[in-house]
A and B are shown apart, each in its own frame.
Chain A
Amino acid sequence: MTLTTAGAGAEHHPPRDHPPYRSSRLRHPKRPLVPLRDPEAVELSGPAFGVTDVAALDSDLTRQHPGEPLGERITVSGRVVDRRGRPVRGQLVELWQANASGRYAHQLDRHPAPLDPNFTGFGRCLTDDGGAYSFTTIKPGAYPWHNHTNAWRPAHLHFSLFGTAFAQRLVTQMYFPGDPLFPYDPILRSVSDESARQRLVCAYDHDLSVPEWSLGHRWDIVLDGPSATFFQEGDAR
């Protein structure tokens, strides 16, 4: 196994130093990360979540207010697995996003697009025994930001995931297929490898569409990093 540095971060993940994304300039370590190969490390275990951590409607972002939110209703489903393809069971998936106009329900979002009184844009669920998750929400709008002239983020959902180990933690963003803003977005393009970038883009899935209700999108998530069994199974060469 090759060791990676703060700058290289392996080919799958973005380097933390990515000058086109201006906010990264002062917020990335310049010294190499220190590799930790300790089978006793606490980070090989991780937090657990269960039925008390989610409420019944948390996975439906369109039913958190009295009325229907504006926008195109979508179903987003997929599986969370580890690098061996094993399902990540009973773990927390969190999602947050802008509304259909591209505005976050956050006081610091000053984009002059309308807030939607029927949409907050936050959901959570637990993965099932097969590692599957599912959300009902609306398709978010693109929004401008200050990174460069005409900087617009392609429509995206923010995702937060827990594996079986703290070392498998992942926060990422899911994009929608065919977005014309892809070539201009330094955050998506911080992932240098084209096939890795494609793994951040969901697929329209006609079978996931709910008749007269929502358009289906599939997005599978693969968590990187070791878990408690990693060193016992001969991976730690």
Chain B
Amino acid sequence: MPAPTPSQTVGPFYGYALPFPRGGDVAPAGHPDTITLHGYVFDGEGQPVPDALIETWQPGPDGSRAGVPGSLRRDPATGRALGRDGVAFTGFGRVATDADGHWAVRTLPPGGVSYVSLAVFARGLLHHLYTRAYLVDEPGDALLGSLDAAGRATLVARGEAPRTYRFDIHLQGADETVFLEFPQGPA
């Protein structure tokens, strides 16, 4: 069994490379079911993290997890990133935080589950973190049910307005977000 390649931080200068135009527009253009999922990323002193990268992954509204290609669509003539075709639902979002630590994705409600999966990358973070933004505080959810009330609360997005969900990420501190770990490959 090959041993895994270690993780290293994304560093401060990914910004001209990884984010792409409309990386947060996961929902097809103008889709009436579009929801906004947004929030801030904070460090252990409650300061906003202006150089985090948030990736989101989720099933389509029909529950499909197949992943349609085309998230990062490129112009073949210029090589420029176009960012999706406005039609297909790829399930993948990628946004950098702003100078105030804010991020936002516009997507469709996930089918079959009540959460959107998030990966968090940042300068200072040697290995990215996984968490989930639950759009509904699902009573029967095994993960939510395994957490204490405070931990559970960190995973449930707050409905701010119709179709708008707020999900802040605290990398450290009293309100530290619950982060997830998946089993690793065969030893």
Contact = CB atoms under 8 A, between A and B. Distances in A.
B118 to A, nearest CB: 9
Contacts of B126: 13-16, 18, 21, 24, 28, 187, 190
Nearest to A58: B79
B7 A13 contact: yes
A141 interface: no
A29 B172 contact: yes
Contact of B171 (A15, A26, A160, A196): A26
Interface stretch (A43-51, A66-74, A206-214): A43-51
B107 interface: no
Contact of A34 (B49, B75, B121, B146): B146
Given A10-B184, A96-B16, A46 B57 contact: yes
Contacts of B186: 83-84, 235
A47 B125 contact: no
Contacts of B47: 26
| B-side interface mostly | loop
A205 interface: no
Interface in A132-162: 158, 160
Contacts, number: 274
Interface in A18-52: 18, 21, 23-31, 33-38, 41-52
Q: Give the one of A33, A108, A221 with max B CB within 10 A.
A: A33
Q: Give the one of A9, A12, A26, A230 with max B CB within 10 A.
A: A26
Contacts of A6: 179
B71 A27 contact: no
Interface string A64-82: 1000000000000000011
Interface string B1-41: 11111111111111111100000000000000000000000
A108 B172 CA distance: 25
B171 A47 contact: no
Interface string B161-187: 000000000011000111111111111
Counting chain B residues whose Cβ lies within 8 A of the other chain, the interface size class is 35 or more
A33 to B, nearest CB: 4
Given A21-B126, A166-B117, A197 B10 contact: no
A187 to B, nearest CB: 6
Contacts of A158: 8, 10-11, 14, 17
Q: Give the one of B17, B121, B143, B182 with max A CB within 10 A.
A: B182
Contacts of A236: 183
Given A29-B177, A49-B72, A42 B2 contact: no
A235 B127 contact: no
A76 to B, nearest CB: 14
B62 interface: no
Contact of B183 (A30, A35, A105, A200): A35
A100 interface: no
Top 5 closest pairs, chain A to chain B, by CB = A83-B185, A50-B69, A23-B124, A96-B17, A48-B67
Interface of A: 1, 3-4, 6, 9-10, 12-16, 18, 21, 23-31, 33-38, 41-58, 64, 81-85, 92, 94, 96, 98, 104-106, 108-109, 120-122, 124, 158, 160, 166-167, 169-173, 187-188, 190-191, 195-197, 199-200, 220-226, 230, 235-236
